[in-house]
Chains A and B, each alone.
Chain A
C-alpha cells in the first residue's frame, strides 16, 4: 500500500514536471491555430481553429527545396560525423602510437574555442578553396561543401564520447580478430562499430539535431535562396506582421520543421539513453 502510494506520488510529480516542460510546445500548437486578432492575452483555446495558417505558412517560400537541402546537408553531415569521429576515437582508444595522449588533449582543447572566433578565418578559407563549378560556384562559398565537409573531419566532443565507450569494450575481442589476421580498419568496422551502436546512435542524434537546427552556417555560406535550409526559411516570418513577427505563421512553420527532430529522437531514444548510461562507466 505504502509502495503504491510512493509510486503514485512519484508518478504525479514526474507527470507535473513533464507537463511543465510541455507547456511551450502546447503553446506553440495553440498559437499556430490562432487568427492574428486572437493572439493577444493568454487564451489556450483558439476562438476559431485557423488551420489555414499551416497552408499559408508553407505557401510563401521554397519550402520543398529548402526541405530537400536540409535533408541532404543533415544526412551527409551525420554520416560524416559518425564515421570520422568513430575512426578517430578508435585510434585514440585502441591503438598505441607516439604522442597519442598529447594529441587527444589538443583535440579536447578545441572544444574550448568559441565558434565565433573561427568564423572569419573559416570563411576566408572556404572562399579560397575551389569548388570547380559544384552547385554553380567557383569556390566553396554558396555551396553545401562548407556545411558538409568539416563534418567528415571529426568532432572533438563526439570523439571524446566514443573514445570513452570504446575503452570499455573488452580487448579480448579485438585481440582474437588480430590473431585471425584482421586489419585495424576491419576491426573498427566489423567489431567495434557494431558494439558501439548505442553511443553511435547518441552521436547521430546529437549531430542530426545540431545540423538540422544550424542557423549561422547556412546564413554565412549559402547565398542563393534555392540553396537555403529550413532554419533560414523560418526567419522570413520575423517581420511578416508589418515589422513584428507573425506568431501564428511562425509557430505553424516551426512545428512542422521541428517534427523530424522529434521523430528521430522518439525512434532512437532507447539507444540514446543506453548510450549515455554506457559512456558513464569508469574508464579502463
Chain B
C-alpha cells in the first residue's frame, strides 16, 4: 500500500505544491517580521531593552486598545520588549512616587495626568524629555497646542501627549421636545441657557426642585465658566490674575443660578439624590443640560438611560452635544494624559522609542477608533472613519475652543485659594468681589515667599 503511494506521481505533485505553499507562507512571514510597520514617525528599530509600562486602562475596551498599540509597537521596535501593567487609577501615581523616592521599582513608561505634569516635573518625579525631542525632531505642532503646552515645565517637555478631552454641554433632546424647545438648537450664550431653563425647570408646589433646566456647578467649577466670560488666568506679567471683572462677573452669574433654585442648601439637598452614572443628574432626567467632558458620551452609550415622560411612558434619552454657553466668547478646558518616563527608569532609551511609537499618528488612530477617546495628535483626531460620526466631528471642532492655564512656578497650587472660598461665596458669607480680592492677596503673599 505504502509502496503504491510513493510510486504515484500525484503524491510528488501534492508534495511539491504543499512544499511551495509552506515556503511561500514562510517567506511572507519572514518578510513581515523583517519589515517593521510604518507608524508615521521615524523610529529606531535598533534600540533594545525591556520596557515596563504602567497604565490604568483596565476596562475590556481600553485594555484591548492599549494591548493593540503595544503589539503594533513591538512589531515596529523588534528589539524592545514591552510589558504593560495595569495599576488602579489614582493609585498608579502614589505607587510611582514611592518608587521614585526609593530609587527602585519605578516603571520605564507611565501614563501621567497632563494637567498635573508641570507640578510633578517640578518635584523631580519625571524625566526631562526635551533632549530626546530635540534629537529626534518631534514637532509639537502635531498635537493640540494646549496639550503640548501642558507638558512643559521651565521650557522643557516632560511627557508626550497621549489622549485628551474637551468640556462641552450635553442636553436632553427628549426633554427639550417635551418643553416645546427645538431639540436641534441648543443654547449658545449665558442669556439663552437662562431662558431655556425657564421652560425646562420644574419646581414642586412645596418649593422643592423636581427638575433643573441647568446648573453650572454640577460637573464644572466656576473657573471654567470664567473663561467663557473672557477670563485669562495668567496675566501678561506671568502672574495669576483673580480679582478681575470677568471672574467676579462669573461668580455673580453663578450666584444668580443659586438664587434661582432656592439657595445653596436647596441645591445641595437636590443633588444629594444622585450618585455616579447611571444614577447621576442627567441620566435620571432631573437635569436637562449638563457640562461634562466629551467622554461622557461613551458612558451615555453604555448605559442608554431611560426616563419617564409626562404621559407616563418610558423613553431612552435622546441627547445632543453643544459648546459650553458663553458670555464673551466660546471657551473650554481639556484634561488628558501623557506618556512620561519616571526619574531613575533604567531603560530610558527604549522607553522613549516606545513613547514615540505609542503617540504616533497610526497608534493614536487605533486608540481613538477602539475607545472613542480624543487623541492628542490632530491628524489622528481627524481620521475619516471617526469624522463620519457627527458627534465626533463636533467634539473635534470643540477642541478648537479649548485652552490651558500656564504653570505658575512660585505657587503651583494657587487655585486652592479659589477653592477655599467658593463655598463661602455660594452661602452668601462673603461677596464675590471680596473673595476674589482676598484670594488675589493670598496668592501674591505666598508667591512672594517663593520668587
Interface, chain A (partner B; CB < 8 A): 36-37, 39-41, 60, 119-120, 123-124, 127-128, 139, 141-142, 215-216, 219-220, 223-225, 232, 235-246
Most buried by B among A36, A128, A223: A223
- The answer to whether B295 touches A242, judged by C-beta atoms less than 8 angstroms apart, is yes
Given A36-B302, A225-B86, A238-B88, A244 contacting B60 (CB threshold 8 A): no
Chain A residues with CB under 8 Å of B83's CB are 224
Contact with A along B78-104 (1 / 0, CB 8 A): 000001011111010011001101111
- The answer to whether B104 touches A40, judged by C-beta atoms less than 8 angstroms apart, is no
B421 is an interface residue with CB less than 8 A from chain A: no
Interface of chain A, helix or strand or loop or mixed?
Answer: mixed
Given A124-B102, A219-B87, A239 contacting B302 (CB threshold 8 A): no
* A235 to B87 Cα, complex, angstroms: 8
Smallest beta-carbon distance B368→chain A, Å: 14
- The answer to whether A238 touches B89, judged by C-beta atoms less than 8 angstroms apart, is yes
* A142 to B105 Cα, complex, angstroms: 8
Interface, chain B (partner A; CB < 8 A): 52, 56-63, 83, 85-89, 91, 94-95, 98-99, 101-105, 107, 276-279, 283-284, 295-296, 298-299, 301-306, 372
- The answer to whether B89 touches A123, judged by C-beta atoms less than 8 angstroms apart, is no
Most buried by B among A124, A236, A243: A243
Chain A residues with CB under 8 Å of B61's CB are 242
- The answer to whether A241 touches B303, judged by C-beta atoms less than 8 angstroms apart, is yes
Smallest beta-carbon distance A238→chain B, Å: 6
Chain A residues with CB under 8 Å of B101's CB are 120, 123-124
> Can you report 29 A-B residue pairs in the complex whose CB atoms are below 8 A from each other?
A37-B305, A37-B306, A39-B279, A39-B303, A40-B283, A40-B284, A40-B306, A41-B284, A60-B60, A120-B98, A123-B99, A127-B99, A141-B99, A141-B102, A141-B104, A219-B94, A224-B83, A225-B85, A238-B58, A239-B57, A239-B59, A239-B62, A241-B59, A242-B61, A242-B299, A242-B372, A243-B295, A243-B298, A246-B59
Tell which of B102, B295, B303 touches A40, judged by Cβ atoms closer than 8 Å.
Answer: B303
Given pairs A40-B283, A239-B58, 16 additional interface contacts (CB within 8 A): A119-B98, A123-B99, A127-B102, A127-B104, A141-B104, A215-B91, A219-B95, A224-B85, A225-B86, A235-B89, A236-B59, A241-B302, A242-B295, A243-B295, A243-B299, A244-B276
Chain A residues with CB under 8 Å of B372's CB are 242
Chain A residues with CB under 8 Å of B104's CB are 127-128, 139, 141
Given A141-B104, A238-B58, A223 contacting B303 (CB threshold 8 A): no
Chain A residues with CB under 8 Å of B56's CB are 239
Chain A residues with CB under 8 Å of B301's CB are 242
* A234 to B333 Cα, complex, angstroms: 31
Given A36-B302, A219-B91, A41 contacting B279 (CB threshold 8 A): yes
B316: nearest chain-A partner, CB-CB: A37
Smallest beta-carbon distance B73→chain A, Å: 19
Chain A residues with CB under 8 Å of B296's CB are 243
Smallest beta-carbon distance A6→chain B, Å: 39
Tell which of A142, A232, A243 touches B88, judged by Cβ atoms closer than 8 Å.
Answer: A232
- The answer to whether A220 touches B98, judged by C-beta atoms less than 8 angstroms apart, is yes
Chain B residues with CB under 8 Å of A245's CB are 276
Smallest beta-carbon distance B197→chain A, Å: 23
- The answer to whether A236 touches B306, judged by C-beta atoms less than 8 angstroms apart, is no
Smallest beta-carbon distance A41→chain B, Å: 7
A221: nearest chain-B partner, CB-CB: B105
Smallest beta-carbon distance A224→chain B, Å: 7
* A59 to B350 Cα, complex, angstroms: 33
- The answer to whether B278 touches A36, judged by C-beta atoms less than 8 angstroms apart, is yes
Chain B residues with CB under 8 Å of A40's CB are 278-279, 283-284, 303, 305-306
Chain B residues with CB under 8 Å of A215's CB are 91
* A141 to B98 Cα, complex, angstroms: 11
* A239 to B94 Cα, complex, angstroms: 18
- The answer to whether B278 touches A236, judged by C-beta atoms less than 8 angstroms apart, is no
Smallest beta-carbon distance B57→chain A, Å: 7
* A241 to B105 Cα, complex, angstroms: 31
Chain B residues with CB under 8 Å of A242's CB are 59, 61, 295, 298-299, 301-302, 372
Most buried by A among B95, B276, B284, B298: B95
- The answer to whether B102 touches A123, judged by C-beta atoms less than 8 angstroms apart, is yes
* A216 to B52 Cα, complex, angstroms: 20
* A120 to B101 Cα, complex, angstroms: 7
* A40 to B314 Cα, complex, angstroms: 13
- The answer to whether A237 touches B58, judged by C-beta atoms less than 8 angstroms apart, is yes
Given A120-B101, A123-B99, A240 contacting B303 (CB threshold 8 A): no
- The answer to whether A235 touches B276, judged by C-beta atoms less than 8 angstroms apart, is no
- The answer to whether B88 touches A235, judged by C-beta atoms less than 8 angstroms apart, is yes
- The answer to whether B88 touches A241, judged by C-beta atoms less than 8 angstroms apart, is no
- The answer to whether A127 touches B103, judged by C-beta atoms less than 8 angstroms apart, is yes
Smallest beta-carbon distance A115→chain B, Å: 13
Top 9 A-B pairs ranked by shortest CB distance?
A242-B298, A236-B58, A235-B88, A127-B104, A240-B59, A141-B105, A244-B277, A124-B102, A127-B102
Smallest beta-carbon distance B101→chain A, Å: 5
* A127 to B344 Cα, complex, angstroms: 14
- The answer to whether A244 touches B299, judged by C-beta atoms less than 8 angstroms apart, is yes
Chain B residues with CB under 8 Å of A219's CB are 87-88, 91, 94-95
Chain B residues with CB under 8 Å of A36's CB are 278, 302-304
B372: nearest chain-A partner, CB-CB: A242
Smallest beta-carbon distance B285→chain A, Å: 10
A138: nearest chain-B partner, CB-CB: B104
- The answer to whether A223 touches B58, judged by C-beta atoms less than 8 angstroms apart, is no
Given A40-B306, A235-B58, A236-B58, A120 contacting B102 (CB threshold 8 A): yes
Smallest beta-carbon distance A24→chain B, Å: 14
B296: nearest chain-A partner, CB-CB: A243
* A36 to B104 Cα, complex, angstroms: 42
Chain B residues with CB under 8 Å of A235's CB are 58, 88-89, 91
Smallest beta-carbon distance A220→chain B, Å: 5
Chain B residues with CB under 8 Å of A236's CB are 58-59, 63, 86, 88
* A239 to B304 Cα, complex, angstroms: 17
* A225 to B107 Cα, complex, angstroms: 13
B303: nearest chain-A partner, CB-CB: A36
Smallest beta-carbon distance B293→chain A, Å: 8
A242: nearest chain-B partner, CB-CB: B298
